[in-house]
Amino acid sequence: MESIPRQLLLVDLTERRAETLPLRPDLHRQFLGAVGLGTRLLLDYCPPGVDPLSPQNPLVFAASPMAATLVPGASKHAVVTKSPLTGMIGDSLSGSFWSSAIRLAGYEAIVVVGATEELTYLFIDDEHVFFRSAAHLKGLGCWDTEEAIRRELRDGRVRVAAIGPAGERLVRYAGIFNDGTRRAGRGGVGAVMGSKGLKAIAIRGTRPVQVGDMDGLERECFRLYRVTQESFTEKYRVLGTPGNVLTLNRLGALPVRNFQQTTFPGAEAVSGELLHEKHLVKVAGCSSCSVACEHIYHGDAGGSKGVRARLDYESLFALGPLCYVDDLGWIIQAAERCDRHGLDTISTGVTIAWAMECFEKGLLTRKDTDGLDLSFGNGAAVAEMVDRISRREGLGDLLAEGTRLASERLGGGSDHWAMHSKGLELPGYEPRALKTMALGYAVGARGGCHNRSPSYEVDMSTKVDRLKSEPGRGAMNRDQEDFAAVLDSLSLCKFLRKCFTDFYPEAANIYGLATGIEMEAQELRLAGTRICNAKKAFNILQGWRRDMDWLPGRTMSEPLPDGPGAGVRLTPEELTMMVGDYYESRGWTSQGLIPKEVLEQLGLADLWPALERNQHAE
């Protein structure tokens, strides 16, 4: 069944041409799908040294290899490109129905190259591809664009992924939104889409999807469905991830006031528990999902009543405690505006928090903010800045560049509190209180990320002392990265990860039943290692340097200010030790480069000639 034909749709916007190409039969064995497949296609289509916002940068959409089947939680698609925020790999996942739409149209992936002068949207109607003017959609928000295209095509079942005004204006952390509130948010994939003049991709997929073993798949999926209703997923079903606020606050691991505190006096007022009790509108789920983690809330603030937004923990922490805002009404408003304009909520919140600290320290004044009081705690100012960033208006133009570039331009030592790694703003897990996570942030291929390196799980277990740096964390972080790479490439929702008794053999079995690609547990595990190395290879080819595997100045010069870990430090020496330990665990050189033998062992030998040239140039 490995002979099931799998196709790629290659779209050249400059030439206004689309062609269907067969995918190599071994590609789904080596790279699975979604993030893995997208990484391999990026390596194939992206020249070294390309400007991320130039037509030469490919934008890859890769489906879950098990989307549109019965497999629960296999509904994400990956968007992979060279990130305009980091200059490294940008791989972002989004859930809901778009991944299924890609496969139902007959493809595993869509690669978009080139650019168009006139704002355009693509309509993929199974094997037919239409280039349509989007001039009338210019400036429209993400949801409005979706609705407008459905009306225009007179088909409510058409699935749309679109950018908002932020993507059109090349805000470096703009995302691509689909199915209402779902987003490929991180890394600025929406800015790349905007640079191509591509407003949206609409898909109508009506073709059947072949599976390896329908009877076997049915049996296995029903078993998994039952497990997903047990205690493993209860927190996601009931409270969603906003339930993390009070626990992280109690553990002193909640980033507050731009990482100046780890506990928040207003935590109760922005807790998942309170959201659930007072603000919940409904819960929703992705295609074939049995968990339904998506919580939609309503809130009132500033004269606006009943504004609705999807809030997860990351959006909540970034637009709330990190900006010292304890008013759920304003947090919901800010989140709604991020979704409408097409912005990543983490990068938006972290960048605004950086600006708030600049304001606090007098580096930015009311003159710079056009009179806006950008003090910590001002929820109305946060919501207003979201608007200004999306319009690149006034200070918003600087903030639209993200914390790394903005701090370089503003100067005054503000890079010390620009909370990013490789240019990607840090998520809501305080690295000084979670030392394995600190390592994960530092070495992450796409920058500081809790999803590609979920090493906070190690820290919040009995395996380690989370406040301590020590040898051995390198291998732990490697294993977490490889595991995440497999999940993100299958792509199985991470909220199901505890539903497996023995993940690799069980997941390999489901993958075989769904795709016909039979593999052993060890082979699946190796695919995760291969994907992580492929990402690193891409980064090396794009100019990665050893000193990029690092954390912001604040993290390594200021001890934890409060919470159970108060006084604990993460020193540069500790981080250097852990980074070296990680390189060693991967079999890389002490400088973090990939030796030829490692590439050969992983079936990536074809990358060696280019890497060798690059590494010698270094």
Edge-to-edge strand ranges of the sheet holding 77-82? 17-22, 7-12, 109-113, 59-63, 77-82, 89-94
Q: Does 247 bind other proteins (CB under 8 A)?
A: yes
217 vs 293 by CB, closer to other proteins: 293
Residues 6+ apart with CB under 8 A from 191: 52, 53, 84, 85, 166, 167, 170, 171, 172, 173, 174
204 vs 235 by CB, closer to other proteins: 235
* Least distance from other proteins to the Cβ atom of residue 61, Å: 20
Tracing tokens 């008794």 back to the chain, one arrives at 501
For the CA atoms of 95, 459, 253, 329, the dihedral, rounded to the nearest 10 degrees, stands at: 20
* Least distance from other proteins to the Cβ atom of residue 36, Å: 17
Q: Does 30 bind other proteins (CB under 8 A)?
A: no
Contact 549, 411 (CB under 8 A): no
Q: Which of 132, 150, 235, 391 binds other proteins (CB under 8 A)?
A: 235
DSSP per position, 336-370 = HHHHHHTB-HHHHHHHHHHHHHHHHTTSS-TTTTT
Q: Which of 110, 239, 385, 437 binds other proteins (CB under 8 A)?
A: 239
36 vs 563 by CB, closer to other proteins: 563
* Least distance from other proteins to the Cβ atom of residue 248, Å: 5
The CA–CA distances, whole Å, from 240 to 96, 190, 276, 403, 495 equal 16, 26, 9, 28, 10
Binding to other proteins by CB under 8 A, coded x per residue (else -) over 548-567, reads: ---------------xxx--
Binding to other proteins by CB under 8 A, coded x per residue (else -) over 309-328, reads: ---xxx--------------
Site stretch for other proteins (CB under 8 A), options 238-246, 332-340, 389-397, 470-478: 238-246
The CB-side HSE value for 318 (13 A sphere, CA atoms) comes to 25
Q: Which of 70, 74, 158, 246 binds other proteins (CB under 8 A)?
A: 246
* Least distance from other proteins to the Cβ atom of residue 238, Å: 5
Determine phi and psi for 151, rounding to 5 degrees: -65, -45
* Least distance from other proteins to the Cβ atom of residue 213, Å: 28
Contact 339, 183 (CB under 8 A): yes
Site stretch for other proteins (CB under 8 A), options 59-67, 102-110, 240-248, 403-411: 240-248
Contact 33, 491 (CB under 8 A): yes
Please, which of residues 458-487 interact with other proteins by CB under 8 A? 460-462, 465, 467
220 vs 314 by CB, closer to other proteins: 314
Q: Does 498 bind other proteins (CB under 8 A)?
A: yes
Determine phi and psi for 160, rounding to 5 degrees: -125, 135
Determine phi and psi for 562, rounding to 5 degrees: -155, -175
Alpha helices in 27-97 (DSSP H): 27-31, 34-45
Binding site for other proteins (CB under 8 A): 230-232, 234-235, 238-239, 241, 243-244, 246-248, 250-253, 272-273, 312-314, 427-429, 450-451, 454, 456-457, 460-462, 465, 467, 493-495, 497-498, 563-565
